[in-house]
Amino acid sequence: MAAYNEKNRQERLRLIALLESLSDAQLEEKLPNGWRVADALAHLAFWDCYDVALLQEWQRNGFHKPSAEWNPINAAVESMSRTIPFPALRAWVRDSAEQSDHCVEQIAPVLADAIVAVGKEDFLFRSTHRAHHLNQIENLSGPKC
């Protein structure tokens, strides 16, 4: 098993435990970057969905290095996150993380090697992105789970 699969699983389980412990009031709390906790969680769900879409595309049509403007995408996700009711947000975040990890577990080794070769291993190590935002959320007022 690839190292990223176990790390992804660990952070996904941490994410799910946090989702189950957060109240609606805690989802409204502001992070140091100005986002609400809910915004950061929607951000994670979006990027897990993006990861699935890219990995599936690469499996079908071969690998190509992605190019995107991350800041405008993140701003759009933040705006969208404010329209999602919290129960739906929790389900989306959990389901997206599970889908992303499953997709990463299924990719061909040759594709994984190509992704790593161009320095885009974050598409495999979803755990890195999750840990960053989970740490921000948990540091607001101590661990919530």
The pLDDT score that the predictor gives to residue 144 is 45
The Cα–Cα gap between 42 and 96 comes to 10
pLDDT tens sequence across 32-62: 999 999 999 999 999 999 999 999 999 999 9
pTM here is 0.89
What tokens appear for 143 in the block? 């661990």
What tokens appear for 37 in the block? 């906790």
- Number of Cβ within 10 Å of residue 29's Cβ equals 16
Q: Which domains does the chain have, with CATH numbers?
A: 3-138 (1.20.120.450)
Q: Which of 126, 73, 136, 80 is nearest to 104 (CA)?
A: 126
Share of the chain above pLDDT 70, in %: 96
**Taken in order 102, 6, 40, 17, is the CA torsion positive or negative?**
positive
